[in-house]
Amino acid sequence: MRSRPELMAFVLALACARVASAASWQEVAPLPEPRWMHVAGCDLAGAVYAYAGYTAPVPDGRKYGIGKRALDIFDPEANAWRRGPEVRAVRARNRVTKSLMASNEIGAKPIREWIEWQEYDGGLRFEKPAGAAGRDGLLYWFGEAAPVFFDPKRDVWDQHALPISDNATHTWLPPVPRMIRKSGLTATAPDGKIYLVGGVGHPLNRHERDPRSWHQWQLVDVVEVYDPAENSWAERSPMKTSRRLAAGAFGPDGKLYVFGGYGHRGSVHEEDYESAAELEAAAREMRAFGKEALRSVEAYDPATDTWSERTPMPKGRHAMGAALGADGRIYVIGGAVSYSNPIGSRRVFVYDPKTDRWAEGPRLRHRRFHHAVAVDPAGKIYAVGGITNPSPFLRRGTASVEVLDTATPTPTPVPAPPDRG
């Protein structure tokens, strides 16, 4: 046990360590309206884009609120937001082959094939629409079968070569992802490829699903990579731990780091094929995992296609954000500590991939979770919107936006204090 002089010296050193970090979160112009479970990203010029997600709940009992297609664009120099063109649904081609029996021939002869346009939801019914800023300056939003993207130079939403749905086999034809997912994290690699990791989902093609669970979302560990330059998809080695509502970012070493989240399947609903024992087992699992979010951290090495475990987070978190700062450290921002007691946090944990150690970063001005995080080319990190609530019984969205300049002196490792927000 420390003596009183030693204790005073420790407290003084702790205070000095915090003062040494000159960086602090600064409030900027708020969003035009509250938004959560959305996507945010910066273009090459440093403008911030917020799109998809949800806004204020409505009286008809929708679980998350009103799905938003609105695009909001922030100009840092003017400190103002403007409304951009609305995100449009993913378009796809539907191929149908019909056959007729010819009177003078034996057997069926295909006589017609045509293509018609269809539009798909593109994520409005998802917990957390998958999307990310690309290295090419485009802002991507992933729907059921293909991404759409916003081009800031042309101020329009567009789409690469359109996917084809074959009604005869109920399958999507490449190039498409294997999984359709919600609440999966998205991160852009230094080489420009975009990683979609974990979350809750199921195979895109119906014939790959268990017929008993065609309409049931499953916790997944699947990792898929989208290459915007080639408009192609590839599957990589799965995570060690299946998780949802996690956060992730690439480090300066080119590895993808995945933080926290949840390891349970979420809401438990009775299905026709389930026994009472199966339902109760699922409910026990949810209650057990719902007490606290995961602390575990995994790192993915694209060069070897392998995952490895790293030092756990100081505190479990879910529905937070993560971004690589100009100092080479990854900032894990806000989030909630419990699925069953979702109170947003102001704390920021800073991870150093070089030393595999954690530090305490500058605290947010506002509690928030289910927010979005974006980082500009200069290393300024934006925390955009989210849910801010002082108690688990009062859930309200926020339009507030904060920015942290990580090019200033970096956080110093300190003992983590008790979590009081």
The pLDDT value given to residue 413: 52
Across all residues in the chain, what is the average pLDDT? 80
State the DSSP code for 284.
H
Residue 62 pLDDT greater than 80, yes or no: no
> Domain 23-88+124-162+170-405 is of which CATH architecture?
6 Propeller (2.120)
State mean pLDDT over 198-206: 84
More confident residue, 412 or 172: 172
Q: Which CB contacts under 8 angstroms, 24+ apart, belong to 418-421?
A: 419/315, 419/337, 419/345, 419/347, 421/343, 421/344, 421/345, 421/346, 421/347, 421/367
The pLDDT confidence band at residue 160, using thresholds 50, 70 and 90, is confident
The pLDDT confidence band at residue 145, using thresholds 50, 70 and 90, is confident
The pLDDT confidence band at residue 110, using thresholds 50, 70 and 90, is very low
Q: Which residue, chain included where needed, has tokens 């200033």? A: 408
Cis-peptide into 175, omega within 30 deg: yes
Helix (H) or strand (E) holding 5: helix 4-20
SS3 annotation, 377-409: CCCEEEEECCEEEEECCEEEECCCEEEEECCCC
CB–CB of 316/303 below 8 Å? Answer: no
Cα angle value 389/393/394 (rounded, 5°) = 40
What CA–CA distance (Å, rounded) separates 355 from 311?
A: 10
Task: Report pLDDT digits (tens) over 300-312.
Answer: 999 999 999 999 9
What CA–CA distance (Å, rounded) separates 314 from 157?
A: 40
- CA 191 from chain centre, in angstroms, equals 19
CB–CB of 130/181 below 8 Å? Answer: yes
Q: Which residue, chain included where needed, has tokens 């079968």? A: 145
For the ranges 62-66, 277-281, 407-411, the maximum mean pLDDT occurs at 277-281
Three-state DSSP state, 122: coil
The pLDDT value given to residue 80: 98
The pLDDT value given to residue 52: 85
Q: Which of 19-33, 88-102, 192-206, 374-388 has the lowest mean pLDDT?
A: 88-102
The pLDDT value given to residue 7: 45
- The dihedral of CA 418, 340, 210, 166: what is its sign? negative
DSSP string, 37-49: S-EEEE-TT--EE
Three-state DSSP state, 257: strand
% of the chain exceeding 90 in pLDDT: 48
Q: Which residue, chain included where needed, has tokens 């082959």? A: 97
Encoding tokens for residue 254?
Answer: 């080119």
Residue 296 pLDDT greater than 80, yes or no: yes
CB–CB of 36/321 below 8 Å? Answer: no
Q: Which of 62-66, 141-145, 171-175, 400-404 has the lowest mean pLDDT?
A: 62-66
State mean pLDDT over 177-185: 85
The pLDDT confidence band at residue 19, using thresholds 50, 70 and 90, is very low
The pLDDT value given to residue 101: 41
State mean pLDDT over 392-414: 76
Helix (H) or strand (E) holding 187: strand 185-188
Please give the torsion angle defined by the CA atoms of residues 232, 244, 404 and 331, in that order, rounded to the nearest 10 degrees: -90
- Exposure b/e, 53-84, CB count within 10 A at least 16 = b: bbbeeeeeeeebbebbbbbbbbebeeeebeeb
Residue 222: which residues within 8 A CB-CB, separation 6 or more?
Answer: 178, 179, 181, 198, 201, 235, 238
CB–CB of 308/298 below 8 Å? Answer: yes
State mean pLDDT over 398-409: 90
